A and B are shown apart, each in its own frame.
Chain A
């Protein structure tokens, strides 16, 4: 439990007579990039607000850095950084003035403050815009400034709400790389709220999929993209005449759960990951002329759509 930086147990929240969150349970271990995925209205933002101590759950318990976010001490709250969907920067003020306010709030000493602000603006490539009003910034620049603002006090966990929404492709890649760098180089645990499947698939190591205030699925990304722990391999051969021999061989192997020949390749499902080596050896021993072997992964999009559709199907029934 000590390794978990966030613990959410049996959380429910009703707003306006409507259950926004129903019995939510999950943990976020230290150092991960954790993603909450769900369509609009799934309860992601309410959950984030609960984690930031802005609203209280009706039932259940939430712990961030081992503390209840509502009654958290100032020192513990200094361990939390966040960027909400609205950026939280005032467009009337300059980049420096915006960050300086938050640096003061987080108790950075006056003599260290300026150097730290300059360092953070440099980190997000905004050094040249220190004295420019934020109103003149593009969306991507505002998002980078918000990240600099959120990191000014060296938090241990960073909450990001839709970090790349409405950004151009260049801005999206920049923010994505910055998030990965923060996680890998500085060891910051990152919690991302998103409905961008591609973004989540690329950067998150663990995810929760939510719908209508319920958790539909959760787990490590690698496990979720390999249902039932199965491994699927795409095997291409040097000679197409060798396919009947391969089919005969595959029919005899107990660790092959299913296979099909399609578009000049064999798609082979193995019972588990460790059977891969056995398969390679068996193919070599039987002189199957292999051209290429690729491991097939399910995409997060397939998984997400299947969950959302399945739920809709149940609702209709």
Chain B
């Protein structure tokens, strides 16, 4: 596995996905709507701006990322089925790990950007009513979640892509994403009182699950399996 291979695959995937202009625009705007309007509508009930931001980071930040990544995966599947390029790519010197990481990296970049933009908007929305005299930042747990969530997102996307390679469609990925989603969110059911270590625990557990599953999936994945499923 070479870094350049991962970059080459990611670059190609970015070009392909953004080439589905209409679908890409619709899902980009949809993610933006989910990440800003919906999250604000729910968190506006929380009076403390720090808890509001923490709540956003714990639940809506990841939700936006996951929803966006899953929608992007459907574009990837659509392209995968139509173009029939996979066999050609598999016959090159690229390793399966490079293909998996490259494809996942492209989706990660595209789904992380709108989520990050939403976070900036939520941050401004929490601070503007206070007159920007003293900026309110997330709590330390909120910051940890902010930095963990992209890693968790990348793991989820890897798992998603793996299932796409195993099963040749994205139904499996929907189930996996939903399971991870439940795992993370169940722990933070009572979020109005602020996020605590239980939410963090849910994230860590989610992280362990996705990376362990991705590792096992990659270990047993063979080019033969993908080719014969095409």
A-side interface residues toward B, CB under 8 Å? 15, 49, 52-56, 74, 77-78, 82, 84, 86-93, 97, 101-102, 104-107
Q: Report A-chain residues with C-beta under 8 Å of the C-beta of B82.
A: 91
Verify A55–B227 contact, CB threshold 8 A: yes
Expressed in whole angstroms, the Cα–Cα distance for A45 and B195 within the complex equals 57
B38 contacts chain A at the CB level, 8 A cutoff: no
List which B44-95 residues lie within 8 A (CB) of chain A.
Answer: 79, 82-85, 87-94
Known: A55-B224, A90-B16. A105 touches B5 (CB 8 A): yes
Verify B223–A92 contact, CB threshold 8 A: no
By beta carbon, the residue of chain B nearest A94 is: B15
Known: A86-B87, A86-B88, A104-B4. A93 touches B15 (CB 8 A): yes
Expressed in whole angstroms, the Cα–Cα distance for A89 and B88 within the complex equals 8
Q: How far is the CB of A100 from chain B (nearest CB, A)?
A: 9
Other-chain residue from B19, B79, B87, B224 in contact with A84 (beta carbon distance below 8 A): B87
Q: Report B-chain residues with C-beta under 8 Å of the C-beta of A56.
A: 224
Expressed in whole angstroms, the Cα–Cα distance for A92 and B78 within the complex equals 12
9 more contacts with CB within 8 A, not counting A92-B79, A105-B8, A105-B94, are A15-B228, A52-B91, A53-B91, A54-B87, A54-B91, A89-B85, A92-B19, A93-B12, A106-B93
Verify B90–A54 contact, CB threshold 8 A: yes
Verify A102–B92 contact, CB threshold 8 A: yes
Q: How far is the CB of B43 from chain A (nearest CB, A)?
A: 38
Secondary structure at the B interface, as helix, strand, loop or mixed, is: helix
Q: Report A-chain residues with C-beta under 8 Å of the C-beta of B33.
A: none
Q: How far is the CB of B9 from chain A (nearest CB, A)?
A: 8
Q: Report B-chain residues with C-beta under 8 Å of the C-beta of A89.
A: 83, 85
Most buried by A among B79, B90, B224: B224
Verify B228–A101 contact, CB threshold 8 A: no
By beta carbon, the residue of chain A nearest B230 is: A86
Q: Report B-chain residues with C-beta under 8 Å of the C-beta of A52.
A: 91
Expressed in whole angstroms, the Cα–Cα distance for A149 and B96 within the complex equals 21
Verify B87–A101 contact, CB threshold 8 A: no
Verify A86–B84 contact, CB threshold 8 A: yes
Q: Report B-chain residues with C-beta under 8 Å of the C-beta of A82.
A: 88, 91
Expressed in whole angstroms, the Cα–Cα distance for A179 and B4 within the complex equals 32
Q: Report B-chain residues with C-beta under 8 Å of the C-beta of A105.
A: 5, 8, 92-94
Expressed in whole angstroms, the Cα–Cα distance for A105 and B95 within the complex equals 10
B178 contacts chain A at the CB level, 8 A cutoff: no
B11 contacts chain A at the CB level, 8 A cutoff: yes
Verify B85–A88 contact, CB threshold 8 A: yes
Verify A90–B83 contact, CB threshold 8 A: yes
Verify A84–B94 contact, CB threshold 8 A: no
Verify B223–A88 contact, CB threshold 8 A: no
Q: Report A-chain residues with C-beta under 8 Å of the C-beta of B84.
A: 86-88
B147 contacts chain A at the CB level, 8 A cutoff: no
Known: A92-B20, A93-B15. A53 touches B87 (CB 8 A): no
Expressed in whole angstroms, the Cα–Cα distance for A49 and B227 within the complex equals 9
Expressed in whole angstroms, the Cα–Cα distance for A102 and B5 within the complex equals 10
By beta carbon, the residue of chain B nearest A78 is: B93
Q: Report A-chain residues with C-beta under 8 Å of the C-beta of B4.
A: 104, 107
Q: Report A-chain residues with C-beta under 8 Å of the C-beta of B87.
A: 54, 84, 86, 88
Show 10 A/B contacts (Cβ-Cβ < 8 Å), sorted by A. A53-B223, A54-B223, A55-B223, A56-B224, A84-B87, A88-B85, A88-B89, A102-B92, A104-B7, A105-B92
